[in-house]
Amino acid sequence: MNGRRWFSLVMVALIPIAAISLALGNALAQSPAPSASPATPAASATSAPAPAATPAPAASPSAPPAAAETPATPPPVVAPVQTADPFGQEITLESKTVVVLKGNANWDSAFDTLIDSFKSLSGLLDKQGIKPSGNSMIVYTSTDDTGFTFLAEIPVDQEPKNLTKAMSMGKSPEGKALKFVHRGSYDNMDNTYEAITNHLDDKKLEAKDTFIEEYITDPLKTAEDKLVINVYVPLK
C-alpha cells in the first residue's frame, strides 16, 4: 500500500477513538462525589464530617501519533531499449578508397584464409604507419560448391607503397543494397545466408552475383564466436 494512503487511513481511525476518550473524561468530571458513610455508634457526635471526594481530573484526549517520515521513493530504473538488428534494411552503399588483396579459398578453411588476408593487409599498413579509415571487408566475387574467390579490402585515406602482386588500390562497392546482421562465428553464417535467401524469395527481389561482408568487430582481435558482421546484398 502506498505510504501516504496508509498514513491517512490510520489518522481517520484515530479520530473516533479520541472523541470517545474526551466524552468519558467530561462525564467523570461532572459526576457528584460519593456521600460519606454514617457514623458508627462508637463514633463521637462531634466528629468532623468526612471531606468531600476530590473530583477526578478530566482525561485529556490522546494526541494522534506523529506521522513517521515516508522515505523518498527512488526514481524507477529504466532499462536501455535493445533494438533489433536490421534484417533486409534498404541502404545505399557509398564507395570508399581501399587497399585490396585478391584471393581464393575452399570452404573448409575459409575463415583462416580470410584472416591471413587481413593480416597481410594490416601488416603492410602498420609498417607504413597508415591507419584504416573504416572496417575491413570481404567482397565475394564468385562461389561454387568447393570454394570461392574474394577481395579483402581495408579502407584507407592514403595510398600505401610497396604493394605485393596480389595487392592493389581500388574502390569498394556502391549502390543500393540490403543490410543484414550476423552475430557469432563464421561457421554459423550458413544460417544467416539461408535466412537472407528466404527473405529475397519472399520479397521477390533480384540480387547481383556478389555480396559483401563488413567486419564491425576486428576479426584479428575478436574471438570468433563474438564476431559482428554486416552482410550487404547489392540489388539489380
Tell me how far apart the alpha carbons of residues 108 and 187 are, in angstroms, rounded to a whole number: 10
Dist CA 113 CA 99 (whole Å): 17
Place of cell 462508637: 42
Within 10 angstroms of residue 212's Cβ, the number of other Cβ atoms is 20
C-alpha distances in Å from residue 6, one per residue of 17, 74, 176, 195:
18, 19, 63, 56
Spatial distance between the Cα atoms of 134 and 156, rounded to a whole number of angstroms: 7
What predicted TM-score, i.e. pTM, was given to this entire model? 0.65
In this prediction, residue 99 carries a pLDDT of 98
Per-residue pLDDT of 83-136, as tens digits, reads 688 899 999 999 999 999 999 999 999 999 999 999 999 999 999 999 999 999
Q: Which fold has domain 87-234?
A: Multidrug-efflux Transporter 1 Regulator Bmrr; Chain A (3.20.80)
Encode the chain (236 residues) as per-residue pLDDT tens digits.
333 233 333 333 333 433 434 443 444 444 454 444 444 444 444 444 444 555 555 555 555 555 556 666 666 655 455 568 889 999 999 999 999 999 999 999 999 999 999 999 999 999 999 999 999 999 999 999 999 999 999 999 999 999 999 999 999 999 999 999 999 999 999 999 999 999 999 999 999 989 999 999 999 999 999 999 999 999 98
Rounded Cα gap, residues 227 and 217, in angstroms? 6
**Domain regions of the chain by residue span:** 1-27+57-63, 87-234
Question: Which pLDDT score is estimated for 12?
Answer: 38
Tell me, rounded to whole angstroms, the distance of Cα 68 from its chain centroid. 36
